[in-house]
Structure 1
Amino acid sequence: MNNKLNKTLLFGLLVLCSLLFNACKKDDDKIIDKEPEVEEPVGTGDPTEIGAPNGAGVTATIGKDGGTIQSEDKAFSLVIPAGALSESTEITIQPITNKSPNGVAKAYRVVTGKEIGNSTIKLKLGEKEFATMAGPKLAYQDLSNRIWIAKSGAQIDETNRTVSITMGKFNVKRDFSVIASVEMNLVISPTDNHIVPLQPIKIQVWGVETLMKNNYPEDTWLAVGGLRPLKLEEGGIIAWFANDIEGGDEEVGNISDAAHSDPAYSGMYQAPLYLPSENPVSLAVNVKLGTKTVRLSESVKIIQDNYIKSALGANSAQATANTSPNSLHISMIDFLDENDPSNYAQGLIVNVNRGFTGAEGSYNFSFNEDVEGAFFDNLNRKTLGRTYWFDEEGNKHFSNGEVKISSFKKSETNEGFAIIEGTISGTAYFLIPGTLEYEPEPFTAAFKCVSNS
């Protein structure tokens, strides 16, 4: 093989491995950390940091007759055959923080006093990790250059959810993890996994890119920054789910292939109008990988982070708001009386008409037809205060005030959808109960609402 690196793709979630040892003694609450002497990174690959101790280590002494050593959590084991050690050797397993590309859970460091010959590493995976893996491989970190390397040849026991592999000789220190040779992540945007009602998000199936190591076709260097959208073969995506409902529904939101993008690797989810009873919402996709079907999942939380912070005369209040768009171009926010949750105490209507272009700025109540504001207060049985009112002779008067829009963010994927932030202030007029007179109330409110025009 020539010196040129041949790119290959390896799609994987890193599931961290622990090395199991039998006939071992436990170093209770003892952290074992013998830092390797690390040279400057050399060669080709993406170096990572070296993991730090992350729990109590376990130490055992194994002789020329070999033995099996189990880790403290009993999830993994290292089987050392007879003759693999030239003399009795102390071996330590130290859990460490996971610095491997796409690492999940802990990684584990094996520290020995002597070189270990051919040995078998066996690890047991959790149900979720095992269900989404295809073609697991063992990965280890070369501590001299800090590059993680994936090794092929793993044996899989699907009944017991174990993966085992025979390693060649390795030196006095080595960090291990397990990867899947065909595996994917479900990636959503935005990445904070919190969205508001009716907000659309894109979902993509992503993979991990690796580089083939020179002259070692069974080994591959793991690339740290190799995550990228993965284009599957036609028919690779079988179905999308929201809370286990194929395609979703009105209560949990709708999910499907992304019509505007490549359906081979991406989907689209739109949050429901109201908070679902099961929240966060689990988004999932069934993907065909060869003869195996795996399910990838990620969750999003629907939050009502729309808000009003208001002051309206003596009846001021502040609370988290509910968003309930009641037409194609009106977003209404209201919140409850803290003393009486059945009473809608105050609220705000921001009316953004179809002609509104999304320009930030201030809009007066009295004449602007594109943006209108209204503030109402149901405390003390006051009637709705609007941006206009009528005197005893029936003459119409506009309230004094303005809507100031500080942010108008349009969706890139859903035409007509936007999140509007700003303030509304001015004077509202409330009908005094039992009279035809109106009572002026100055008000201010900060708002954030959804427009779905």
Structure 2
Amino acid sequence: MKRMNFWMGLVLFLFTSACSKSDPTSPDLPGALVTTHGTPDGAAVTKTIGTAGGSVTSTDGNFSITIPTGALAGDQEISVQPVMNQLPAGYGRAYRLSPHNIQFLQPVTVRFRYDENSIRNTVPELLGIAYQDGEGKWFHAGEPTLDRGSHMLSVATTHFSDWGYFPYFYIDPSEALVDPGAQLDLRVMATVPGNPDFVPLPGESPVLQPYQPDKSYLGAWSYSGDGSLKGNGNKAHYQAPNSAPRANPEAVSVAVKMQRKGQFLLISNITIRTEFHIDYMQVDETEMYAGGLNYPSRLWIYGSFGEDPGKEKRSVKINNTDVTVAFWTPGMIACDIPTAGPYASGVVAVSTKAATATKTLNEWLVNMYYDKVESPGGALTKKVKLILRFRGDADGFFKTGQVPMVTETNLHASSKGIIDMATGSFTNHVTMDGCGDYTVKWDAIHNLEVARKKNTEAGGLSGRVVNRSGGFDLKIRFIADDVLMTHRKFVDCHSGGSNDDVPDAIEIQGFHETVIPLRFSLSGSNASIKAGEMPLKTGTGVASGLYFDAPDYVPGNFTTRLHWDEARPKYE
């Protein structure tokens, strides 16, 4: 049977005792946590703060920096940029504070607002704040101050970098949704050095890769439901009852002990399925036509459906039109659906004679723009507009225990690139090596359409799409060979010269295979894909045939930009 994890709550018992410094170098512990830096995940907020101090708050209101009077010697621009959270057990977004080389005359305060619903696998008293150095290593920022009333964590700092918050201890899974009779393994995870008296010291205490702590941290496991539980140390095995229990969900708990902070009870709520429902939907745009797999697109539906009642007793419809059911299991259904048309997306209804569940499979059309400036002033700029179609579910995500049948898929078949560029020309005089005038002229390109290709095919536009809880991760490739006719002229300072007509390729350089985060603004049928852009790249190269004297070359004149508009959902 498929297992699916939901959430549950936490009950807290607190007592205090003495504290002491921890030893993060135990040979039995994992190494320090090192990750890549997060990519932007929202609009930056920038303010000028002076000697009188001030504050900057992120656009989502969940992060702020407060600078007291006298912390700055003069006016300074301060920026807060949401980024993808690279902490494996972190919550919500991380935030980039810049400039990184700023010097404060006294500490400033960093604050996170935590969401009770998002930290259900731990308790607020076991939350820490971390920052990431330039090499990607994460450090505890110090002992955070907790304000339970306002759901705030805060810590003082004297430097800027990427910041996030995370649990010292947590139970995995925090909640589960399982079938009657199913089995589930639970475990306690930790990110702090192996010492119950742990006190985080800024710059000295690395965040550890999540590991299962030893028994010195843990008390007994507890369960009083209709199934069974065998718990020992950092792990437990749960057996669900064969029918819905009297109390549903059932609670499994374990005590976590920190000598200085106290004792806390982590609780995992396990719900036994009783309702026919859809959790999440995923579209495979791979278009399989080989090995007995013959479908234009495949819709995977995850949820609770019971045993297959037989072809005559069940159906899956999109916009009231039957689609072919490839197979039906209690936790997953696969259907063959068209790539376009009135039932390529819309309201999906899964029905048996006993029950019906519905959910919206939505569509978004994203306009993405690529601009590569290859001459000062931009007269020579390679331009590509990408029209990208996505189908998916903006409400819910895979539950723990549900196994995605598609880890990544192609771009939708109707996705395409359009090259539309005016003629351009630029001349540059060189006095050093190769003295002379270099002129490059580009012919215009009028609405040249470049079709989508599968990832197994060369050239054109191709992409890999991954479902995320808040949108899609996209990786793209684009190349159109010999579509740009360039005219390269050289006039020597003394005599002679050359003229060459050379076809050139247009491709999306600088962003091939880079994760492009497309994120929903909301959930459900009102979820648009938010407008965004990748970090601007500078010094990305001049047009072929142009040359500059070294003192005249200005990298900032040559930029590569990739950005996209907001995409409204088809069904609102």
TM-score normalised by structure 2 residue count: 0.39
Structure having the higher Rg = 1
